[in-house]
Amino acid sequence: MSADENEREPCRDIPGNFFQPPNIIYFCPMTLIIFTDLDGTLLDRDTYSWEPARTALKCCRQSRVPVVAVTSKTLAETRVLSEKIGLDPHFIFENGGGIYLEEEKYLGLGIPYDTLRHDFLILAARFPLRGMGDMRISELVEITGLTEVEALQAKERLFSEPFLYAGDELAELEAAAAGQGLQIVRGGRFYHLMAEKQSKGNAVRQWVQQLGESFDRPLFTAALGDSPNDFSMLAVVDHPFLVKHKNGQSESCSLERITRTRDVGPAGWSEAVMQLLDNLSDACRSGEENCHV
């Protein structure tokens, strides 16, 4: 018996990736697109494994559901991971700083790194900050658990500066950054300095605007994340999921229509995606008018 045949419940047949979205009282074929954070969501926070999500990813491929990475990782990191995992080749990198469109082409949405790095050093003169640009490869490997090659890719920044903050005056630091036309967003391991209007949510909107016309049906969007830097993305999709942390807790999030997973990390990702796909399949099979995804 093959590994796929030995997996838990096989993927259900979903003809053409269309279903009945919530709050629509008539049947309307649509295309589901899943936007996802990586570290702590699709990938295990410590090991970077996506093994618990493997079956759900297979089902997405069989159902022709695009899974789009939306991550704080660099273009170089995300391109490698997207190919390795089998995600959509058009992804969002550096917390919405850019959208990778095709070979060697991307849409920049943030402040160029050289300018951002200059602004970071101004802040670092006032606050106890240590940016990724200050770190040796060996230090970055120790902090993140990445390999040396992966750490080198992580330092290929274009639109953001991840940093560690050793102080206790975050509000003052945020105000100083805002005074320079910048913002600070908290991720899983690092804070991130980036352009004031840069966000995963804005980049998801831009992705849909740039690439949505390539689909022959209206889009229904879902997103999965686990940290505050994901909240803007969760706010702009039709069905947001907040994935539980390894410590058993979920981030406090004020979005009213959010679904919180019971499982953590990639297992929580699988839980959410299989729920989406099961509801999609039920709608396709029955043609019911009130299927809730």
Q: Give catalytic residues, as residue numbers.
A: 37
Distances in Å between the Cα of 101 and the Cα atoms of 38, 39, 98, 206 are 19, 22, 9, 11
- Give all strands of the β-sheet with 67-69 in edge-to-edge order: 67-69, 31-36, 219-225, 239-244, 259-264
Mapping DSSP onto H, E and C, the string for 245-285 reads: CCCCCCCCCCCCCCEEEEEEHHHHHHHHHHHHHHHHHHHHH
Please tell me the distance from the alpha carbon of residue 180 to that of residue 246, in angstroms, as a whole number: 35
- Give all strands of the β-sheet with 161-165 in edge-to-edge order: 129-131, 161-165, 191-195, 182-186
- What sections of 34-144 are H helices per DSSP? 54-62, 75-85, 113-124, 137-144
Side-chain half-sphere CA neighbours of 33 within 13 A: 24
Q: Would you say 23 and 288 are in contact if contact means Cβ atoms under 8 Å apart?
A: no
